[in-house]
């Protein structure tokens, strides 16, 4: 089965940077759209950034200009570079892999999450 494992979270000061990584296994990685979501305590999970299999990316308005999503299909890995971090970025960040096939249907996988805390 498909598995996603996030890494790179931690504690940083406001204005600092982190790079999250998500390593995928058990899937044909290049066929999947990849995304990063986050969930803060007491709030719903929200989309942060998404990159499709062709390379086009989109971002939540709250992170545009600060976060960059990228993928390395040779390494089966998607990244989220986070710069100029703010306290409101504090959340558990989840990696997602999504594919919809006209015959086999939807494939949707989630990682276990990695904690990002932005605090002075």
For residue 1, what are the contacts with CB-CB under 8 A and spacing of at least 6? Answer: 26
Beta strand 18-25 with 105-110: parallel, antiparallel or unpaired?
A: unpaired
Q: How does pLDDT run along the chain (120 residues), one tens digit per residue?
A: 899 999 999 999 999 999 999 999 999 999 999 999 999 999 999 999 999 988 899 999 999 999 999 999 999 999 999 999 999 999 999 999 999 988 989 999 999 999 999 999
CA–CA distance from 74 to each of 1, 54, 84 (Å)? 19, 14, 29
The per-residue b/e assignment along 22-46, b for 16 or more CB within 10 angstroms, e otherwise, is bbbeebebeebbbbbbbeeeeeeee
| The two structure tokens encoding residue 16 | 């600092």
């Amino acid at each position: 089965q498909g598995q996603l494992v996030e890494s790179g979270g931690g504690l940083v000061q406001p204005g600092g940077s982190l790079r999250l990584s998500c390593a995928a296994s058990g899937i044909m990685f290049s066929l999947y759209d990849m995304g990063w979501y986050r969930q803060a305590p007491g709030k719903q999970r929200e989309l942060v950034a998404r990159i499709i299999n062709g390379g086009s990316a989109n971002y939540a308005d709250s992170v545009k200009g600060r976060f960059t999503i990228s993928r390395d299909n040779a390494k089966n890995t998607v990244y989220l570079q986070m710069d100029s971090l703010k306290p409101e970025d504090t959340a558990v960040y989840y990696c997602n892999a999504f594919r919809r096939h006209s015959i086999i249907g939807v494939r949707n996988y989630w990682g276990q999450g990695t904690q990002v805390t932005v605090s002075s």
